[in-house]
Structure 1
């Protein structure tokens, strides 16, 4: 399977679609009757007058989510190949994104983090382009606006502004004006939101938006013990990827090294931002799928023992499908 996606051929669109369906087959068969869907944060809900929460059946919800994941997989694949982060074109980033976005059953339905992944992909495209860009202030302003829009959909997304600031320092010589430009971009979106609340005499609700940012970091996180079993191949692939990156990191072009530093930072920030949500849900970690898919793709691109990496990938996929059929 991996050898098929190591090449860049039009026929891989078919194989990518097949993998997408297989990865979601278990949940489609055992899907609940109704899946409650929340598109934006509660404080911005009044801007959307349509009642959409229960408008979709569970089947429609799953298939629309699958379509969005497929589009995102193609976008991730395009960006990684465009900036040549793997050294040669392939469909591995797209494949790994589809697998990573199917890791847990909460990933398989529509959710705010799923929509935020479109913004993450767009942000990475902008950030990777900083290296050869003469004007970084405009890009920084755009990135600030993207973070603001993402935080309207899903509040923990607000912390990706840290990724923007550090990426500006990584790709460009430090310039305070770049950081200020990103802040002004963020403020621009919320300025219009504040005006809306003010005109509707709800300014106190606008101030309540920021209350979750002061919440305590949870002392413990509760997962099903079977969720940890699915993560075993994930952790193993990550460890193997780190070894592969270490071997060739300083031999790579400067742009590629900087890009992987940003991806590591994005993975950490997106993963740790969960504590902002009082009603924390497992689908939060879907925000980590984009950087994770790049790391997975890097390992499988340069793994040398075919019997081992093919077996590892099959075990990874089989474990995901198994726990979709068996919720225990």
Structure 2
């Protein structure tokens, strides 16, 4: 299966579409009686209310979630191929994106983080272009606005602001205007939100939006380890990918090295940003799928022992299906 997606054969688009629904067999086989989908954070609903979650049946919810994952996978695949992050262009990034976005049952339904991944892929593309730009002021301003829009949808997305400065550290020498432009872009969106609150005599509530940023990072985690055994193949592949990347690191182009460093930081930021939402759900970790899928795709793009990497991917898929059904 891996060999099939190592090339740009157009038939792979149809195979990916079928594969997207194959990975969702478990939820289609036993649909929940009801599914809630909140498209915007409460403070954004004050500005605009979109009752999407109130009109979708569970079947429609899961169907549209699958379509969104497929579209995101194609967009994601295009970004990775355009920036030449793998040894050769193909559909491996899309394959690994769809697979990684099927790890847990909450990943299979509509959620704010699923919508935010459109923005995350867009941001990823803009970050990867930074090293080729003569100036980063306008791109960073745009990224700041995109992060602000994502924050209206899902508050922990605000932590992606850190990525602006981490990326600038990786790609460019210090320029105060570039460092501030992203923050200005972010504040531009929230300035209009603040004006709307003021017009409605609710400006005293505006400061409450930022209270979650003061949350303490939890020191104790209650984890049912049986629910996360599906991550064992993922960890194995991530370790193998890291070793492969380390072996090729200094033989790669400088832009490729910086790109993988940036994606590693993006993965970490997406992982730890859950603390800003005390009632976060498992679907939060969909934010880790785009950067994580790049690393997995890198391993399968460079692996040489076919019997091993095909078997490893098959174990990965079977493990996901097993835990989704049981």
TM-score normalised by length of structure 1: 0.97
Secondary structure at 2:229 match in 1: helix
1:281 lines up with 2:278 in the alignment: no
* CA offsets 1:46-66 (integer angstroms, 9 cap, x no match): 223343333111110001011
Aligned-partner Cα distance in 2 for 1:320–1:150: 29
Aligned-partner Cα distance in 2 for 1:228–1:71: 27
Residue in 2 that maps onto 1:202 = 202
Secondary structure at 2:316 match in 1: helix
Query: Do the aligned residues in 2 keep the contact of 1:34 with 1:58 (CA within 8 Å)?
Result: yes
**Per-residue deviation, 1:217:** 1.3
Residue in 2 that maps onto 1:187 = 187
**Per-residue deviation, 1:224:** 3.2
**Per-residue deviation, 1:67:** 0.6
Query: Do the aligned residues in 2 keep the contact of 1:101 with 1:108 (CA within 8 Å)?
Result: yes
Residue in 2 that maps onto 1:73 = 73
* CA offsets 1:82-138 (integer angstroms, 9 cap, x no match): 010002101000000000111100000111111110111000111111111112100
1:154 lines up with 2:154 in the alignment: yes
Query: Do the aligned residues in 1 keep the contact of 2:47 with 2:193 (CA within 8 Å)?
Result: no
Residue in 1 that maps onto 2:7 = 7
Aligned-partner Cα distance in 1 for 2:63–2:220: 34
**Per-residue deviation, 1:45:** 1.2
Secondary structure at 2:33 match in 1: coil
How has the CA–CA distance of structure 1 residues 50 and 157 changed in structure 2, closer, same or farther, with 3 Å as cutoff?
A: closer
1:87 lines up with 2:93 in the alignment: no
Question: Which residues of 2 match residues 101-116 of structure 1 at below 5 A?
Answer: 101-116=101-116
* RMSD (Å), alpha carbons: 1.0
Query: Do the aligned residues in 1 keep the contact of 2:87 with 2:301 (CA within 8 Å)?
Result: no
How has the CA–CA distance of structure 1 residues 50 and 15 changed in structure 2, closer, same or farther, with 3 Å as cutoff?
A: closer
Structure 1 gaps, min length 5 = none
Aligned-partner Cα distance in 2 for 1:44–1:216: 24
Aligned-partner Cα distance in 1 for 2:275–2:125: 27
Query: Do the aligned residues in 2 keep the contact of 1:35 with 1:54 (CA within 8 Å)?
Result: no
Secondary structure at 2:230 match in 1: helix
* CA offsets 1:238-273 (integer angstroms, 9 cap, x no match): 000000000101111111111101000000000000
Residue in 2 that maps onto 1:314 = 314
Secondary structure at 2:85 match in 1: coil
Query: Do the aligned residues in 1 keep the contact of 2:39 with 2:50 (CA within 8 Å)?
Result: no
* CA offsets 1:267-316 (integer angstroms, 9 cap, x no match): 00000000111102111000000001100100001111111111111111
Query: Do the aligned residues in 1 keep the contact of 2:87 with 2:302 (CA within 8 Å)?
Result: no
Query: Do the aligned residues in 1 keep the contact of 2:244 with 2:299 (CA within 8 Å)?
Result: yes
Residue in 2 that maps onto 1:173 = 173
In terms of mean alpha carbon deviation, does 311-320 or 45-54 score higher?
45-54
In terms of mean alpha carbon deviation, does 81-90 or 215-224 score higher?
215-224
* CA offsets 1:200-238 (integer angstroms, 9 cap, x no match): 011122110001111121223334332221010010000
Query: How many aligned residue pairs are there?
Result: 326
Secondary structure at 2:134 match in 1: coil
Query: Do the aligned residues in 2 keep the contact of 1:141 with 1:185 (CA within 8 Å)?
Result: yes
